[in-house]
A and B are shown apart, each in its own frame.
Chain A
Amino acid sequence: MAEDASGSKGLLADFPALAPAPDGTRITYLDSAATAQKPQQVIDAVSGFYERHNANINRGLYALGLEATKLYEEARADVARLLGAPPKHVIFTAGTTDALNMVAYGLADRLREGDEILLTPHEHHANIVPWQQIVLRTGARIVYCGLNDDFTIDVADLKRKMTDRTKVLAITHVSNVLGTVTPLHEIVPYAKSKGIIVVVDGAQAIPHFPVDVYALGCDAYACSAHKALGPTGIGVLYLSDKLMGMAPYRTGGDMIDDVTEQSAEFARDEPRRFEAGTPNIAGAVGFGAAARYLTTIDRGRELERELTLFRKAWDALSAIPRVTLHGPSPDAGYERVGIIEFTIDNVHPHDVAQLLGDAGVCIRSGKHCAHPLLRRMGINALNRASFYLYNTEADIDALVAAVKRAIARFDTQPKPRTEDAHIPEARR
């Protein structure tokens, strides 16, 4: 297998999508913040479920049905370990977006006019738009904290914004744009002291480091499998004791204790209260396999490797004329994951991403589902390269070479601009 930066054997061999094609070419995958590639162990768990164990859960009294139910619950326990949570507080969802909708709608009847929902400008649309819908239904309002000059969260301002009116703080654990880790250990205890319900979006966190929801002290923690080596369409929501009784936002079969012709009694104090209908069983089993994969590797060492690659990529890109890097540098000292944002002068990020794509280098371009943050950064669109445990130094070399070729393709002549060619953000 490919030797990585530190000279150790990489985990790359476990990822068939990243294996060389018959002609020897290999894609350079630097878009793991969008979705991660899957190890063979996860692929085998999903196909193995359909090949050998497929049945509906919590119903069939035949062996296959009991087996499927057992695998589903074992997967819940495996995923719960990733979060340091008891399995009975871990609800399977369709992903982070579904989980955040679940908690937002579940809290709607605890909110009323005059209440405030506190967000940060770092939030992904998934942790903004559901709250906006709750505002429409309750008359509560959304309040945002400010940012520091380097676009990280202004924690002092966030604390100032926690008032008697604040009922919910919904906050990301890791920014999907900047890659910085939110200092939750400083924020959550303060919010709890004010009696605020704390909802954490962990989509970009669980791929990179172990989470401990008890140590964090949050009331809800949402994440997806697919960014953490698991399948798409499955995620979890951890709920504290305080929230396990909230209203389920999807209702139907499996989540009830009794149903009459006119009413129903919902299951209490257990995940199935929120898991109406036949869930994504194979997806859950795949998530369980991803969780086991992550808990068997040395995660601290893998994150260190990832950050070594991040720093090398940062240095290599910053040495290219016309490339601008955005967000805090590796020397800024923030706890973070391996995400780099860059732009090339006078070349639109979509053109960059396509030219890189043509060279087999997969990066993200655009607004990263974070329009409010990009607006605050005064940037229309960005290119994002994100690193994960299967990346190697060869990926950085491919990225740098492709960026240089893209610049050459667009040549060094700047695009002529008329006075008003750029429409300022403020007028949008």
Chain B
Amino acid sequence: MNDALYREIILEEYKHPKNHGRLERPTHVARIRNSSCGDELHVTLDVADDTIRDVRFEGTGCAVSQAAASLFTERIKGLAVADVQRMDEEEIVRLLGARPNPMRMKCAVLVLRAVADALEDKRQK
């Protein structure tokens, strides 16, 4: 990698993240932490008819985790829950346009794990 990872798009997403904040009436919620660096992500989802209607994220984190969260939340909006649940870290790599080194992959996939946790949330109808 590496300058590849910090190319303009990542920094742009980091500075101007999409879907930042939290939904007022989420159907699904999750909070997840990356203990090594202290990154934390809070995800709220609005799911109806097995479709992701809306999604928001907030938290503290590095540019990689925040940009991945911005790109991934944008990607899954309007998709079927089952399709989102099938996504793995390769989806994040595609969205970032570069493969983070193994240490940074933990930051990059934080949003993927948060969304997966949220979709398993008990409040699901």
A348's partner among B2, B22, B63 (CB-CB below 8 A) is: B63
Q: Is there a chain B Cβ closer than 8 Å to A422's Cβ? A: yes
A-side contacts of B38, CB under 8 Å: 366-367, 374, 380-381
Q: Is there a chain B Cβ closer than 8 Å to A63's Cβ? A: no
Contact-size category for A: 20 to 34
Most chain B CB neighbours (cut-off 10 Å) among A348, A380, A422: A348
- Asked whether A415 lies within 8 Å of B60 as measured between CB atoms, the reply is no
Contact-size category for B: 20 to 34
B-side contacts of A410, CB under 8 Å: 11, 63
Q: Is there a chain B Cβ closer than 8 Å to A149's Cβ? A: no
B60's partner among A351, A365, A366, A422 (CB-CB below 8 A) is: A422
Q: Is there a chain A Cβ closer than 8 Å to B26's Cβ? A: no
B-side contacts of A160, CB under 8 Å: none
Q: Could you tell me the distance between the alpha carbons of A351 and B15 in the complex, rounded to whole angstroms?
A: 13
- Asked whether A421 lies within 8 Å of B6 as measured between CB atoms, the reply is no
Q: Is there a chain B Cβ closer than 8 Å to A8's Cβ? A: no
Give min CB distance, A427 to chain B, whole Å: 10
B-side contacts of A409, CB under 8 Å: 6, 11
**Given the interface contacts A354-B2, A420-B22, A421-B20, does A415 sit within 8 Å of B40 by beta carbon?**
no
Give min CB distance, B106 to chain A, whole Å: 10
Q: Is there a chain B Cβ closer than 8 Å to A243's Cβ? A: no
- Asked whether B42 lies within 8 Å of A418 as measured between CB atoms, the reply is no
- Asked whether A416 lies within 8 Å of B64 as measured between CB atoms, the reply is no
Q: Is there a chain A Cβ closer than 8 Å to B72's Cβ? A: no
Q: Could you tell me the distance between the alpha carbons of A290 and B66 in the complex, rounded to whole angstroms?
A: 43
- Asked whether B104 lies within 8 Å of A416 as measured between CB atoms, the reply is no
A-side contacts of B114, CB under 8 Å: none
B3's partner among A347, A350, A358 (CB-CB below 8 A) is: A358
- Asked whether B58 lies within 8 Å of A358 as measured between CB atoms, the reply is no
Give min CB distance, A423 to chain B, whole Å: 6
- Asked whether A380 lies within 8 Å of B36 as measured between CB atoms, the reply is no
Q: Could you tell me the distance between the alpha carbons of A410 and B15 in the complex, rounded to whole angstroms?
A: 9
- Asked whether B14 lies within 8 Å of A415 as measured between CB atoms, the reply is yes
Q: Is there a chain A Cβ closer than 8 Å to B16's Cβ? A: yes
**Given the interface contacts A354-B104, A416-B16, does A423 sit within 8 Å of B60 by beta carbon?**
yes
Chain A interface (Cβ < 8 Å from any Cβ of B): 347-351, 354-355, 357-358, 365-367, 374, 380-381, 409-411, 413, 415-416, 418, 420-423, 428
